Structure 1
Amino acid sequence: MARATRLTTQDASFYFLDESNTPMHLGSLAILQLPKSGLDFDAVLRLIESRLHLVPRYRQKVREVAHGLARPVWVDDPDFDITYHVRRSALPSPGSDDQLHDLVARLTSRPLDTSRPLWEMYVVEGLAGNRCALYTKSHSALVDGEQALEISQVILDEDEVPPPMADDLWIPEPAPGEPALVAAALAQVVSQPREGVETLRMTLRDMTSLVDGTTEALGKLVAMMRTATQSAPSSPLNTPISRSRRFAVARTELERYRKIRARYGCSINDAVLTVVTGALRTWLLSRGEPVSEATALRALVPMSISEARPGTKGRSVVDVCGADEAGQPHGRTSSFLVDLPVGEPNPVVRLSHVAHATEAFARQSQQVTAQTMIRLSGFAPASLHARGARAASSLSQRMFNLMVANAPGPQIPLYLAGMRMVEMYPLSPLLKNQTLSIGLTSYDGYVHYGLNADRDAMPDVDVVAASLQESLEELVDVSG
């Protein structure tokens, strides 16, 4: 029979969870500095095409099995067209950052075409300051964060001149016929009855049962504190959402978090979560929401976890930006739930609460070795964001108010077809009844926040973005 790879249970759950109001794709926005000669789109296209053999699933599409007898399969797309997936777009020159963010929000709102490989990439010209942008979105079923990499990890280079790549003569494998797929599905039902039951549940779209099974498979990834047994606090972050999105960003200096770490003996991630807490507090107050000293918001936080280092007294250090000077993140990843003390007016006390929570988690966590965090260019945040989305989808949304997905990145500049990447903003998907998702990535001396929000339920997401810088300033000022 012609070759076909069946989707894993987790991949299949993402594929079927994809709805018009909750498209399950990950995104990233890279800002690139153009050379004096301007953009060479054909060079970008050639480079991306030359790297596709490193992410073979990007030339495959999903094919469902008749009558839902088994999970869908990955098959090569015989009509694969790189120019469909890599598109050229433009802002009215000179385009502003706000116009770019509006474009990204519109592109994020659109579902991917399930009849083709589940990814798209847009090269956006016309950005002021002799810059262009690269917006990428890949379906969560396509990227598992371990074996199946996100395409950003293979197209960025440490050198301005891309290294030569061997010629890739790709010939699509013929897809199996429908009778062969049905026969294989029936054989699987006979040999693996439990698998057949799970497939039937999927066919009936009983996603609650499916996610229960997925939770067990992701048990090694999600290590939760005792707060996981309680429902998340009531919050305006949790309302029905539309299919339209807003996108906002913030860019802060990594050195300022390092100074906070040195002053208080906390981790950089503690400082980051405290900054997020302060920004959410400001946003709640701007809305006139009741905020008391006991008010909290619960966040699911996927992150990189380092081994114990000198000066930590044997404690594992939870550190979002814990990459070494060469950009290598520390080797473990995990996720946990933490209550963010948005009701606390003192930023140092907020930091103390967050640091205590992460320290408790570090003692309890079941860590998972991240063997594929660095590939080729060393730009691994996409993998960690993919793992974060998987962790979030495996839990009841009643258990947390929002996801804050943190990922370390290299502290050296990276290049795409000779263009230096100066900024990189992640974009995590929204889950049902969750109006905000925050992704952040450290890269080349900065911490970049990407905020994905529902357009109708959270038209003021820019308040959160602006408040991130203010919250950092407040914490730095108090730190002396």
Structure 2
Amino acid sequence: MQRLSGLDASFLYLETSTQLMHVCGLIELDGSTIPGGYSFDKLKAELAARTKAMPTFRRKLQDSRLNLDHPVWVEDTDFDIDRHCHLVAVPGPGGREALADLCGRIASQPLDRTRPLWEMWVIEGLDNGHVAVMSKMHHAGVDGVTGANMMSELCGLTSDAPRRDPATIPEGAGKASSLDIAVGGLLAVAARPAKLARLVPDSLAVLPQWIGRARRGEAMPAPFTAPRTSFNGTITGHRKIAYATLDLDKVKDVKNAFDVKVNDVVLTLCAGALRDYLDGRNELPDKSLVAMVPVSVHDKSDRPGTNQVSGMFTELATQISDPVQRLRTIGDRNPIVKNHNEALGANLLQDWSQFAAPAVFGAAMRLYARLRLAERHPVVHNLVISNVPGPPVPLYFLGAMITGMFPLGPVFHGAGLNITVMSLDGKLHVGLVSCSELAPELWDLADAFPTALDELLTAAHEQERK
């Protein structure tokens, strides 16, 4: 068996009927590249064959009433691909809005915790004759890096990419009895006081260090200092999805013209689109929006678990009207924010999450939602923004060429908007998820991204002529 880390398990404890903790992905496919042509049965058969070599797709949760620690992963000995791969069709005209509405309904449904925590919905009936796949994976089992790695196992550089060599298949999660789970949990809990004694002194130093950095102008924005917007409230279980595709070469032209990083341009595009969206609703704050940006620590952390992440807060300079000044401000501040985040340590979030108690944590989360406390205290942060670098070459998903890949992260009480950006084959794909009640006109935000890029590109061309 494989025991979940505290951070992995926290995504289970955070989940309620309205705060769903799965990550999604919308993939648009050209099925004509599949050898012999597309059919749902053929796609499902190839998925079944590849998941046999991928233990993470065949593990499920198991727990015991006597377990004092986090649940464990075990092998699903009754795995059935038909419980995970489903066929649906877009109702009526299969344009982008119809596809996104269907995906929003899929994203609004929780995963069945008695099975491996993932689903794929193959969607037919699109106007352009293509096929789409809406994937769902619980955050307890994936983070940005591991999710991308799992998807890469289903992809190849050619339409007939070979499957994994059986000799290289890693071991599965194994089995566990209730006694095994309980005894392992007891031993883990018994070791917590010693771990807490080591953790507390380092953690107590965080606040004075943060204050000192803030006085020197070397700190990221503190939590609970973000301005309130319409998407910073209590979320429902309804999800709205929208997306956009940008030319990556244009993004790089902006990067080169102003000597910044691609991530600086991505954050500035998000800021420009958000500024346009909020200004159009007469609710643009005078103070900058604050984004929480997940940061992978896979190469820095020695802690167990699937989720190897920390998070940093960054200001988006949305109070600045000039896009170039906004880009330069973000570019100047990002190294400071990154340095501060690194100073906090790669393991801080993971170490503290080990002490999350399922009964207490889950009950507190449900009470927090029921009392709508997200609307009663200052805003922690306005939204989540992730930037996932992908390969610069075409990819084929189960033999079908990918024409669009839009990652879609979860939303939270108090932060009902998530923007995730992924580069692939010369394109920048932007996936947006919101709570339908807090941001019902999400396409207005998605459609503001090309405008934000055009503004920066025009300024870049002017810069080059000087």
TM-score, length basis structure 2: 0.78
The one of 233, 236, 254 aligned to 2:230: 236
Query: What residue is the counterpart of 1:82 in the other structure?
Result: 81
- Would you say 1:401 and 2:393 are equivalent positions? no
User: 1:50-89 residue pairs with structure 2 within 5 A?
Assistant: 50-89=49-88
Aligned-pair identity in percent equals: 30
The one of 296, 299, 315 aligned to 2:288: 296
The one of 327, 331, 335 aligned to 1:351: 327
What per-residue deviation string (whole Å, max 9, x for no partner) do you get for residues 400-427 of structure 1? 2111100111110011232110110000
- Would you say 1:185 and 2:177 are equivalent positions? no
C-alpha deviation, 1:69, in angstroms: 2.1
C-alpha change, 1:355 and 1:89, in structure 2 (3 Å) is same
Conserved? CA contact 1:159–1:414, under 8 Å: yes
What per-residue deviation string (whole Å, max 9, x for no partner) do you get for residues 257-281 of structure 1? 1111121111122122111111111
Conserved? CA contact 2:231–2:417, under 8 Å: yes
C-alpha change, 1:185 and 1:287, in structure 2 (3 Å) is same
Matched residue SS, 1:136 = strand
Matched residue SS, 2:9 = helix
How far apart in 2 are the matches of 1:253 and 1:146? Answer: 23
User: 1:70-469 residue pairs with structure 2 within 5 A?
Assistant: 70-92=69-91, 95-145=94-144, 151-166=150-165, 175-190=175-190, 192-194=191-193, 225-228=219-222, 231-289=225-283, 291-292=285-286, 295-302=287-294, 335-364=311-340, 366=342, 398-469=379-450
Conserved? CA contact 1:55–1:149, under 8 Å: no
Conserved? CA contact 1:76–1:173, under 8 Å: yes
C-alpha deviation, 1:397, in angstroms: 9.2
Query: What residue is the counterpart of 1:384 in the other structure?
Result: none
Matched residue SS, 1:127 = coil
C-alpha change, 1:180 and 1:165, in structure 2 (3 Å) is closer
Query: What residue is the counterpart of 1:31 in the other structure?
Result: 28
What per-residue deviation string (whole Å, max 9, x for no partner) do you get for residues 208-257 of structure 1? x9xx99x9xxxxxxxx9331366222222311111001000011101111
AA of the residue aligned to 1:125: E
Matched residue SS, 2:51 = helix
The two structures, once aligned, show a CA RMSD in angstroms of 3.3
Conserved? CA contact 1:57–1:148, under 8 Å: no
Query: What residue is the counterpart of 2:13 in the other structure?
Result: 16
How far apart in 2 are the matches of 1:184 and 1:254? Answer: 49
Segments of structure 1 that go 5 or more residues without pairing to the other structure are 199-208, 216-223, 306-331, 370-395
AA of the residue aligned to 1:353: T
C-alpha deviation, 1:82, in angstroms: 0.9
How far apart in 1 are the matches of 2:235 and 2:173? Answer: 40
Q: Which has the larger helix fraction?
A: 2
C-alpha change, 1:112 and 1:333, in structure 2 (3 Å) is closer
Matched residue SS, 1:35 = helix
Query: What residue is the counterpart of 2:460 in the other structure?
Result: 479
Matched residue SS, 2:385 = strand
C-alpha change, 1:397 and 1:140, in structure 2 (3 Å) is farther
C-alpha change, 1:349 and 1:186, in structure 2 (3 Å) is closer
How far apart in 2 are the matches of 1:140 and 1:96? Answer: 29
C-alpha deviation, 1:456, in angstroms: 0.7
C-alpha change, 1:347 and 1:183, in structure 2 (3 Å) is closer
C-alpha deviation, 1:42, in angstroms: 2.8
Aligned pairs, how many?
401
Conserved? CA contact 1:436–1:451, under 8 Å: yes
- Which of the pair has the greater relative contact order for Cα pairs under 8 Å at 6+ separation? 2
Conserved? CA contact 1:160–1:415, under 8 Å: yes
C-alpha deviation, 1:128, in angstroms: 1.6
AA of the residue aligned to 2:455: E
AA of the residue aligned to 2:314: V
Conserved? CA contact 1:77–1:172, under 8 Å: no
How far apart in 2 are the matches of 1:6 and 1:362? Answer: 31
Matched residue SS, 1:399 = coil
C-alpha deviation, 1:32, in angstroms: 0.5
How far apart in 2 are the matches of 1:87 and 1:170? Answer: 27
